[in-house]
Structure 1
Amino acid sequence: MEEQQNNSSSSLKVIIAILAILLVGSLVYIYKMTTDAKTVQTELTKTVSEKELVMKDLQELKATYDTAIAENTSMSDELIKERDKVVNLINEVNKSKGDVSKYRSQYAKLEGNMKVLMAENEGLKKQNTVLTTQRDSTIVVLGESKKNNEVLVGQNEELAKTVEKGSKLSVLNMKTSAYKIKSSGKQIETDKAGRANVLRISFTIAENQIAKSGDKEYYVQVIDSKSNVLGDKQTVSFGDKSLTYSFITTVKYENKTVQVSQDLPGKNFEKGTYFVNVFDKDELVSKTSFTLR
């Protein structure tokens, strides 16, 4: 009887041991399955995240090309070609359902191409800006040259008439200087608008033995940098022409060279370029310009 009980106890222990082994095996299997599932989920999440990043980078690359193409430079065809490559890669990535890391190298190549093209495009834009500026400057210079030539042609025609008539007087060596005259009478030449209180206009009337002698009147017109006529601002008419002048200077002419100098007092002179014209009646006989800082 005792032997039978021992056999039963041994059998029970064996059964318990087998069940324990099966339980451990089941736990190991369940753990492995759970771990594998987490790994798969992690890989799927990683794949989705990587795809979103690649798509984001590609969309930014496309936007850069779109902006550059809109500027319509001479490189537009090359830019469109490279943008189409980006669009094609976007479509490939969008259709992909697996690992998209392989597209990273393609993106890097496209990005490198973009940087090179953008640098070339910027260089062309700068060159175009310079060329446009040079063209505009040339137009301005040509315009000014045309105006100057017109003035010179007019002066030459007047000079020819003077030679023909032989009695016209020539006004030469015109000069204008600004001075600060102190209460003591001391005169200090200056080129600063804030310091000046007198403009001194001087010129020479050339000798002419066949001209009529006697008193000669010249109308002097001084125009500041804001197109204001300084001084008397009186207007005189010559037929259908009128002239606003700063002052009249009267010269006693005896067929010999005469030096003429007259001061134009003032205050609060404007900064910039001034123009000084001398008229014999309505005829411009001399002009000059100067600048006050």
Structure 2
Amino acid sequence: MENQKSSSSLKAIIAVLAVLLVGSLIYIFKVTSDVTTVQTELKSTMTDKETVMKDLENLKATYDAAIAENTSMSDELIQERDKVVNLISDLKKSKGDVASLAKYKTQFIALQSNMKTLMAENEGLKKQNTTLTTQRDSTVVVLTETKKNVEALAGQNEELAKAVEKGSKLTVLNTTGSAFKLRSSGKQIETDKASRADVLRVSFTIAENQIAQSGDKTYQVQVIDSKNNVLGDKKTETFGDNTLTYSFATNVAYENKTVKVTQDLKGKDFAKGTYYINIFNKGELVSKTSFVLK
């Protein structure tokens, strides 16, 4: 009888231990499963954090590249880039829990949307700048060519003006000097004898010139004898830095046609030797000749 009681007690104890063992196994399995789940969630959370961080870094790099191009939108790009930098700093300090990570993802999406809008505007501005630069370069080329043409025309005009000025100057030709003896009858007889001469005659021709300015022209005639004396009125006139002493002045009405000018210089006791005749216009020597009296 006692043996039966002892056997029943042992069976009860074994049953209880079996129940406890099963419960322990179930608990251990549950705990292990929970730990695995937590580890999986933590691992997933860290991966998400790294992904968001990488996305933010790429976003910052995009802004840095755009800012380096120094467009007119640089200020707006810098402001948005600073927002990304601040978010990166906050994310690094965060614990990386699911709630905060969701918040950072939301902020990243908003920043990414702004970035796309700003990049589109920036690209538009870059295209406009490229077009304007091309137009400006084309304009510079045209202006440079125009300037060269203007300078070339100015040079041609200057040369033409010089040619016209040179061509418009009157040419004095056929300048001659001679001596004459005056008879009581008024007749003049040409002579080469100094002792017989009463008058020295100066003649010259102004050539035809259709582009010269017509009107009254004044010429100063200088007659110098063999003793280097200026004969006649010996008038003195200053032309610029030069002073001219001449024998007489003659006025000519010039109408662009050939004009022969003749004027006499009366005198007495003319010296033998070579006489020099110089014709001046406004102080500039335009013709000269010489003749000899014996």
- The residue correspondences of 1:27-42 to structure 2 (distance < 5 A) are 27-42=25-40
Render the CA deviation track for 1:10-53: whole Å, top value 9, x for unaligned: 22222111111000000001111111111111111111111111
In 1: Cα distance, 2:19 partner to 2:69 partner: 76
CA distance in 2, matches of 1:128, 1:46: 46
After TM superposition, the structure 1 = structure 2 runs for residues 99-248 of structure 1, keeping only pairs within 5 Å, are: 99=98, 100-156=101-157, 165=167
> Hey, which bits of structure 1, 4+ residues long, moved more than 6 A?
160-164
Instruction: Give the Å deviation of 1:87.
Output: 1.1
CA contact (8 A) 1:68 1:79 kept: yes
User: Rg: which structure is higher?
Assistant: 2
Q: 2-side partners of 1:46 and 1:101: how far apart?
A: 13
**Contact 1:50 / 1:101 at 8 angstroms: preserved in 2?**
no
Gaps in structure 2 of 5+ consecutive residues: 169-209, 211-294
Provide the C-alpha distance between the structure 2 equivalents of 1:123 and 1:28, rounded to a whole number of angstroms. Answer: 66
TM-score normalised by L of structure 2: 0.51
Provide the residue aligned with 1:84 in structure 2.
82
Question: Following the alignment from structure 2 to structure 1, what is the Cα–Cα distance between the partners of residues 80 and 65?
Answer: 13
Which position in structure 2 is the counterpart of 1:216? Answer: none
1:154 Cα offset (Å): 4.1
How far apart are 1:156 and its partner, in Å?
A: 4.8
Q: What 5-or-longer segments of structure 1 have no aligned partner?
A: 167-209, 211-293
- For 1:16, the equivalent position in structure 2 comes to 14
- AA aligned to 2:124 is G
Instruction: Give deviations 1:151-177, integer Å, cap 9, x for gaps.
Output: 3344455666777859xxxxxxxxxxx
Distance 1:128 1:146 in 2: 26
1:82-109: CA deviation from partner (whole Å, max 9, x where unpaired): 0111111112211111221331121111
CA distance in 2, matches of 1:163, 1:84: 73
Separation of aligned partners in 1, 2:43 and 2:154: 85
Does structure 2 retain, via aligned residues, the 8 Å contact 1:86–1:110?
A: yes
Residues 105-143 of structure 1, C-alpha deviation per residue, up to 9 Å, x if partnerless?
A: 211111111111111112112211221221121111111
The CA deviation at 1:5 is 2.8
> Scaled by the length of structure 1, what TM-score is found?
0.52
Distance 2:154 2:20 in 1: 118
**Distance in 2, Cα, partners of 1:85 & 1:156:** 66
